[in-house]
Amino acid sequence: MNIRKIITAGIGLGLVISAGAVTAGELCYDGYCDGLRITYDTSTGTASGVTTGCVAGNAFGTVGTIAAQGAGVTLGYDAAADFVGLVTAVKADGTWIHYASDGAGGITVINSGTWTPGPCAANVNAAPSSVIR
């Protein structure tokens, strides 16, 4: 299934998925060696998955509308991930933003860009990770 449709479906903008359906998709951050494999459960409104390519770990979050940004999936990375404390907004418009703590009680953007559906395998050794500052 098309990952854009998965993200869009989660917030009721386009593809309609029957209640209880579980769908999955994969995306790669353009110009980087990493991405996400996301599973979305319409019965709970939650998203989970793994980071792919050159970054290893698990991710979890929700699908919905991100205030002032539109439709998307917001995912945090667990303690097994290479980058703990990172929150990523993957938006249905084909863009993403990595947020992190600024160390002073605020939030900072550490990187952003566009994404393409599909795995990152071809980029693994040719590009940096999207979470390198």
CATH of the domain at 94: 2.40.128
Write down the residue that tokens 């299934």 correspond to. 1
Compute how many other C-beta atoms are within 10 angstroms of the C-beta atom of residue 18.
7
**Within-domain flag for 112:** yes
Query: What is the pTM (predicted TM-score) of this model?
Result: 0.76
Count: domains in the chain: 1
Comparing CA positions, the residue from 33, 28, 39, 46 lying closest to residue 1 is: 39
pLDDT in tens, 62-112: 877 777 777 677 788 765 555 667 888 888 888 899 988 877 888 889 899
Task: Kindly report, residue by residue over 17-68, the tens digit of the pLDDT.
Answer: 334 456 778 888 998 988 888 887 767 888 888 888 888 888 888 877 777 7
Domain that holds residue 92: 3-123
42 in a structural domain: yes
Closest-CA residue to 115 (of 96, 132, 97) = 96
Specify if 130 maps to a domain. no
Q: Tell me the pLDDT band of 128, cut-offs 50, 70 and 90.
A: confident
Q: What is the DSSP string of the chain?
A: --HHHHHHHTTTSS----TT-EEEEEEEETTSSEEEEEEEETTTTEEEEEEEET---EEEEEEEEETTTEEEEEEEE-TTSSSTT-EEEEETTSEEEEEEE-SSSSEEEEEEEEEEES--GGGTTTS--TT--
Closest CA to 60 of 43, 42, 81: 81
In a domain, 64, yes or no: yes
pLDDT of residue 97: 92
State the pLDDT at residue 11.
39
